[in-house]
Amino acid sequence: MSKAAMLRAALLELLAEHERDGMLPTSARFLFYELVARGIVSKERKGARRADQDATDALTDLRQSGKVPWDWIADETRAIEDYSGFPSIKEAVLAYLPSLRLDPWRRKTVLVMTESRSLAGVLRSIATRYRIQIAATGGQIAGFLHTEVAPLLLNATSPKVLYMGDHDLAGNQIETNTRRVLERETGDLDWRRIALTKEQVEEYDLPVIVKHDRRYKDGRPHEAVETEALSQRLIVELLDTELTALLPEPLERVHEREERQRRALRNEGDDLELWKLEFEFDSELRELFEAGRKEVAREEPARKEAGRKINPATAEIYWHFAWVADPYCDYDPRAAAWLSHWTASRCYFARVPGGTWVCFDDLPEHTRNALQRRLDNEADSE
């Protein structure tokens, strides 16, 4: 068997394992290091060809022959930018509904940063499942950090950064630069490196390679261990464990709530069902609602008593815009909007001159009717 045929057979075996373990898509870099770990290829460069070039060529042959689906390998260097539209907004909402997600982090931000774009690509599925954000630096950079990442972190609530990068035996310069640039803009960050660490390199006996820094004429050769040297399965497990520990509630509960709300939206006219679901599963909303309900109960007797004393002929009248279910603004605005089905309107009030304002809805019926006739007559005379 030729060397190329041997590599193709080994890659097919590896990809079958990835498919079995649910580790697709993967990247050419992960596959290369798995070949190194099995002693099939060397990590040492020979001549002008990169150490991974033979494996890359074999993988390309398999994809072109149709033996390996193209989408099994992540390509993070190219993308189609789609700015097209839909015939109607309703069709757009329904089209995007499967990809719309609830936030399981209660408005907190979790950002995974990787040095490698290919690593970010294979982590996309777990990022989607946990509703987090992911960014790849692709080396030492500044512009992207200033224009995209720093504003994201500045506008975030309690942001947490989980970092995954090569273990650079010369001092992890990429991570140091990335963190320094960001913290100049944001202040101290809650930052945790989850891969690669010295302990992981030693535990799994990961291969060391010589890397070169293109910023220097001599290339500044230095030893490093690439993140992809740790298997894709282990990296996914590390991130999964970290995110599970950080979640404020089990992810399965969020997914269940998400699907129920999607079903409610698909059923045209089922707004009431969606309204109920939001209250059922949103603990913060329930707390806000309960606080407002207590305020209403506390104020209601005094308002009823004040309403009984109002003389429609001499009462002062005014109105303001408010959520229809909360004319007195007793509730937190979010709870008031939910309670009102997001409907606001003019809310009319009356009082004994200098007394307590009482909403028309809380007045005795005969008083309310008399005040309404008074308003109608005043409108006719204008």
Cβ-based burial of 305 (10 A; exposed 0-12, middle 13-18, buried ≥19): exposed
Instruction: Dihedral sign for Cα 168, 173, 176, 179, please.
Output: negative
- Mean pLDDT across 357-379: 91
- Measured CA distances, 352 to 186, 310, 328, 349 (Å): 54, 5, 17, 11
CB 356 within 8 Å of CB 303: yes
Q: Does pLDDT of 141 surpass 70? A: yes
Please tell me the number of Cα atoms within 13 Å of 228 on its side-chain side. 23
Range of lowest pLDDT (19-23, 95-99, 217-221, 325-329): 217-221
Tell me if 292 sits within 8 A of 330, measured CB to CB. yes
Q: What is the pTM of this model?
A: 0.63
CA dihedral (350, 356, 362, 363) positive or negative: negative
- What pLDDT was estimated at residue 48? 76
- For domain 104-248, the CATH architecture is 3-Layer(aba) Sandwich (3.40)
Q: Please report the pLDDT score of residue 170 as a whole number.
A: 60
What would the two tokens of residue 34 be? 């798995």
Count other Cβ atoms within 10 Å, centred on residue 285.
17
Q: In whole numbers, what is the pLDDT of the chain averaged over residues? A: 86
pLDDT in tens, 77-110: 677 788 888 888 777 877 887 888 889 998 899 9
Q: What are 165-193's pLDDT values in tens digits?
A: 999 876 578 899 999 999 999 999 999 99
Which residues, 6 or more positions from 165, have their beta carbon under 8 angstroms from its beta carbon? Answer: 113, 114, 115, 116, 172, 174, 175, 193, 195, 196, 227
pLDDT digits (tens, 9 = 90+) for 57-75: 999 999 999 999 999 998 7
Each residue of 312-362: pLDDT tens digit? 999 999 999 998 889 999 998 888 887 776 678 899 999 999 999 999 999
Domain boundaries, the chain: 3-72, 104-248, 301-381
* pLDDT tens digits, one per residue of 266-283: 665 455 455 555 555 567
Peptide bond into 25 cis (omega under 30): yes
Spell out where the chain has E strands: 108-114, 133-136, 157-164, 167-168, 190-195, 209-211, 222-225, 316-323, 344-351, 358-359
- Can you give the pLDDT at residue 102? 87
* pLDDT of 163 higher than 90: yes
